């Protein structure tokens, strides 16, 4: 077994989030027409950290952030054991710019399901994808992220483990070889 | 534990506490889905479901059909009054013919107890029992449990009364199994003639006084008198039954605490429950109907997910 390799430690994690926030501000100004939607279960941690960071940079506490559960939209629910999470979107997505947020972009199937799931909340004007880690060599679908924390080249049997302040006490990304 | 232990839902008796909890928590997610502007999810889009109703039903049939459609399943309906059952076809033949048209799941209501269990042994499809005679009605018990949990927060340790025609009620039996597995204290109340002989062997309290029962419980499930299953007279008159076991506003208001009133429907207004009680703020009858769709979506979703 190959030794686990740290891709982002706490410090670089922080820097990455700050950079992603400035990239978002460049494109979305004051976020008056933009909402953030984190994908359950792990994308919401990133979405909330970004929302918090944006709030402190822009001094704007009204940036809207929701969580979207995609269990019922997955195409593999009979192959995997899936546990549904909650969806909390208390704003209207209609005519808004939506930033979909997930931790790792791998096959693209989660994002495909996320796009489907979002349509139940209206017709967004524009949807962009933000991910912390892009495993660019493993895509099954033609889906690409616009904002990327870090791009890595990994083989399918490797695993990307993202640890969150909210659940693990610190932010860190590790690549685990099998 | 993210999978059901069973391939079919035949009765609450055969499923585990973990199964019940899994269904209830999945139903919570579906309740959120059916309150969205777009109430449909594509989970079962490659599944075909046959609803076989060999006995009349409004609520259960509509509720199952809506649940199936909101999961994007293809649905075929069948009711015995307009079918070849009248021409003498057997149950297995009828179902096998329907399955030959490539149906994945069967939701069945049948007047004979054990019909769903019998079918599950003979045909190759997932079976959901939507009521078999006076035996079980598992989805009703699950939606009742879901509704109680929603109102009271938890079921463990709560006191639930089931009032009325216990002898002919599949709702009563499924409810007893379900609530006991969830840790509730169950009491049944009704005329002695409508009480099954061995009911106390199920570990429930038996009472024949409605006032005492209501004073004891946190929630009361008022059952309908199932006249269609009664071949003999079990009580002198409906009027007398109503006087002794009917719930009216006066009685409800005289209780020392506010209890929850439930009814599986259809209501015979003025018999087991008066209109002002059925429409009061303590009644959760319509919530039960709403929750029924969410619970049935959860059951269909979880069973379809099992290989």
Whether residue B42 and residue A69 make contact (CB cut-off 8 A), yes or no, is: no
Percent of chain A with pLDDT strictly greater than 70: 99
Q: How far is B223 from chain A (nearest CA, A)?
A: 33
Output the pLDDT for position B82: 65
Q: Which helix (H) or strand (E) holds B53?
A: strand B48-53
Contacts of B42 in chain A (CB under 8 A): 72-73, 116
Residue of A nearest to B26 (CA): A84
Asked if the model's pLDDT at residue B85 lies above 70, the reply is no
- pLDDT bucket at B262, cuts 50 / 70 / 90: very high
Among A53-62, B67-76, B93-102, top mean pLDDT goes to B67-76
Domain that holds residue A130: 9-154
Asked if the model's pLDDT at residue A141 lies above 90, the reply is yes
For residues B149 and B132, state if they share a domain: no
The Cα B214–Cα B189 span in angstroms is 10
What average pLDDT does this structure show over A142-152?
94
Q: Which residue among B38, B39, B307 places its CB closest to the CB of A78?
A: B307
Contacts of B39 in chain A (CB under 8 A): 120
Residue of A nearest to B33 (CA): A87
Output the pLDDT for position B285: 95
A67 in B contact zone (CB under 8 Å): no
ipTM of the complex: 0.73
Distances (CA, A) of B23 to B255, B294, B307: 34, 10, 17
For residues B94 and B162, state if they share a domain: no
Contacts of B38 in chain A (CB under 8 A): 119-121
The pTM assigned to this predicted structure is 0.87
Range in A157-161, B73-77, B229-233, B266-270 with the lowest mean pLDDT = B229-233
Output the pLDDT for position B59: 87
Please check whether residue B116 lies inside any domain of the structure: yes
The Cα B276–Cα B252 span in angstroms is 10
Asked if the model's pLDDT at residue A22 lies above 60, the reply is yes
Please check whether residue B259 lies inside any domain of the structure: yes
Q: Name residue A88's beta-bridge partners.
A: A67
Output the pLDDT for position A40: 86
- pLDDT bucket at B87, cuts 50 / 70 / 90: confident
A81 in B contact zone (CB under 8 Å): yes
Distances (CA, A) of A129 to A47, A104, A126: 11, 11, 10
For residues B110 and B174, state if they share a domain: no
Q: B138 vs A157, which has greater pLDDT? A: B138
Please check whether residue B40 lies inside any domain of the structure: yes
Output the pLDDT for position B247: 95
Handedness of CA B234, B238, B242, B244 (dihedral sign): negative
Please check whether residue B170 lies inside any domain of the structure: yes
pLDDT (tens digit, 9 = 90+) per residue, B147-175? 999 999 999 999 999 999 999 999 999 99
A120 in B contact zone (CB under 8 Å): yes
For residues B143 and B244, state if they share a domain: yes
The Cα A177–Cα B135 span in angstroms is 54
Contacts of A85 in chain B (CB under 8 A): 29
Whether residue A116 and residue B43 make contact (CB cut-off 8 A), yes or no, is: no
Output the pLDDT for position A114: 93
For residues B147 and B284, state if they share a domain: yes
Please check whether residue A32 lies inside any domain of the structure: yes
- pLDDT bucket at B89, cuts 50 / 70 / 90: confident
Whether residue B40 and residue A83 make contact (CB cut-off 8 A), yes or no, is: no
Q: Which of B166, B245, B254, B179 is nearest to B215 (CA)?
A: B254
For residues B170 and B183, state if they share a domain: yes
Asked if the model's pLDDT at residue A80 lies above 80, the reply is no
A116 in B contact zone (CB under 8 Å): yes
- pLDDT bucket at B86, cuts 50 / 70 / 90: low
Q: How far is A20 from chain B (nearest CA, A)?
A: 31
B53 in A contact zone (CB under 8 Å): no
Check which CATH number belongs to the domain holding B279 and give it: 3.40.50.1370
| Averaged pLDDT of chain A | 90
Q: A27 vs B38, which has greater pLDDT? A: A27
What average pLDDT does this structure show over A143-166?
91
Domain that holds residue B133: 17-137+292-304
Output the pLDDT for position A77: 73
Q: Which residue among A78, A86, A120 places its CB closest to the CB of B29?
A: A86
Please check whether residue B9 lies inside any domain of the structure: no
For residues B152 and B281, state if they share a domain: yes
Asked if the model's pLDDT at residue B1 lies above 60, the reply is no
Asked if the model's pLDDT at residue A1 lies above 70, the reply is no
Q: Which of A27, A12, A9, A38 is nearest to A131 (CA)?
A: A38
Q: Which of A66, A45, A148 is nearest to A105 (CA)?
A: A148
- pLDDT bucket at B10, cuts 50 / 70 / 90: very high
Q: Which residue among B29, B39, B42 places its CB closest to the CB of A69?
A: B29
What average pLDDT does this structure show over B54-70?
92
Residue of B nearest to A89 (CA): B36
Length in residues, chain A:
178
Residue of B nearest to A81 (CA): B2
What average pLDDT does this structure show over A105-115?
93
Whether residue A73 and residue B41 make contact (CB cut-off 8 A), yes or no, is: yes
Please check whether residue B146 lies inside any domain of the structure: yes
Q: B76 vs B227, which has greater pLDDT? A: B76
Token code pair at residue B179: 């609530």
Whether residue B26 and residue A84 make contact (CB cut-off 8 A), yes or no, is: yes
Neighbouring residues of B210: CB distance < 8 A, sequence distance ≥ 6: B163, B189, B244, B245, B247, B251
Q: How far is A75 from chain B (nearest CA, A)?
A: 8
What average pLDDT does this structure show over A121-137?
92
Range in A71-75, B17-21, B164-168, B253-257 with the lowest mean pLDDT = A71-75
Please check whether residue A178 lies inside any domain of the structure: no
Please check whether residue A161 lies inside any domain of the structure: no
What average pLDDT does this structure show over A60-84?
84
Q: Taking the CB of residue A139, how many other CB atoms lie within 10 A of it? A: 15
Query: Considering its fold, how many domains does chain A have in total?
Result: 1
Output the pLDDT for position B307: 65
The Cα B259–Cα B279 span in angstroms is 14
Percent of chain A with pLDDT strictly greater than 90: 59
Contacts of A120 in chain B (CB under 8 A): 33, 36-41
Contacts of B33 in chain A (CB under 8 A): 72, 87, 120
Whether residue A77 and residue B307 make contact (CB cut-off 8 A), yes or no, is: no
Output the pLDDT for position A72: 87
Contacts of A87 in chain B (CB under 8 A): 29, 32-33
A39 contacts A102 by C-beta, under 8 angstroms: yes
Tell me which long-range contacts B19-23 makes (C-beta under 8 A, separation of at least 24).
B20/B142, B20/B145, B20/B178, B20/B181, B20/B182, B22/B302, B23/B142, B23/B295, B23/B298, B23/B299, B23/B302
Please check whether residue A134 lies inside any domain of the structure: yes
Q: Which residue among B3, B33, B39 places its CB closest to the CB of A81?
A: B3
Output the pLDDT for position B84: 64
B29 in A contact zone (CB under 8 Å): yes
């Amino acid at each position: 077994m190959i030794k686990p390799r740290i891709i982002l430690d706490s410090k670089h994690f922080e820097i990455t989030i700050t950079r992603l926030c400035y990239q978002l501000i460049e494109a979305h100004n004051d976020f008056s027409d933009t909402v953030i939607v984190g994908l359950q279960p792990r994308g919401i941690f990133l979405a909330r950290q970004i929302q918090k960071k944006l709030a402190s940079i822009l001094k704007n506490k009204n940036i809207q952030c929701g969580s979207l559960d995609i269990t019922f939209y997955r195409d593999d629910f009979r192959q995997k054991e899936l546990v549904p999470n909650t969806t909390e979107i208390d704003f209207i997505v209609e005519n808004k710019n939506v930033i979909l947020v997930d931790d790792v972009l791998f096959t693209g199937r989660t994002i495909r399901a996320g796009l489907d799931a979002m349509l139940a909340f209206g017709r967004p004007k524009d949807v962009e994808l933000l991910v912390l880690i892009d495993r660019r060599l493993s895509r099954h679908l033609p889906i690409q992220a616009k904002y990327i924390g870090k791009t890595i080249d990994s083989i399918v049997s490797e695993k990307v483990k993202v640890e969150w302040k909210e659940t693990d006490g610190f932010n860190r990304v590790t690549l685990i070889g099998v | 534990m993210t999978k059901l232990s069973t391939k079919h839902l035949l009765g609450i008796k055969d499923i585990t506490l973990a199964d019940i909890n899994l269904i209830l928590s999945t139903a919570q997610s579906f309740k959120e889905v059916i309150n969205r502007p777009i109430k449909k999810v594509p989970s079962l889009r490659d599944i075909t479901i046959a609803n076989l109703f060999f006995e009349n039903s409004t609520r259960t049939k509509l509720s199952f059909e809506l649940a199936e459609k909101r999961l994007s399943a293809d649905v075929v309906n069948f009711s015995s009054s307009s079918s070849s059952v009248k021409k003498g076809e057997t149950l297995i033949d009828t179902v096998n013919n329907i399955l030959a048209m490539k149906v994945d799941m069967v939701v069945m209501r049948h007047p004979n107890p054990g019909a769903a269990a019998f079918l599950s042994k003979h045909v190759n499809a997932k079976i959901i029992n939507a009521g078999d005679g006076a035996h079980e009605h598992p989805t009703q018990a699950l939606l009742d449990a879901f509704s109680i949990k929603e109102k009271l927060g938890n079921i463990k340790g709560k006191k639930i009364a089931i009032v009325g025609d216990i002898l002919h009620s599949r709702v009563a039996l499924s409810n007893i199994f379900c609530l006991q597995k969830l840790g509730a204290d169950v009491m049944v109340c009704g005329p002695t003639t409508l009480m099954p002989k061995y009911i106390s062997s199920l570990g429930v309290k038996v009472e024949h006084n409605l006032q005492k029962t209501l004073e004891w419980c946190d929630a009361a499930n008022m059952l309908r008198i199932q006249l269609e299953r009664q071949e003999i007279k079990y009580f002198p008159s409906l009027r007398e039954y109503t006087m002794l076991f009917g719930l009216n506003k006066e009685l409800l208001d005289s209780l020392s605490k506010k209890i929850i009133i439930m009814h599986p429907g259809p209501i015979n207004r003025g018999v087991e429950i008066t209109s002002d009680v059925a429409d009061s703020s303590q009644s959760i009858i319509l919530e039960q109907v709403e929750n029924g769709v969410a619970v049935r979506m959860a059951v269909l979703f979880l069973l379809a997910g099992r290989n």
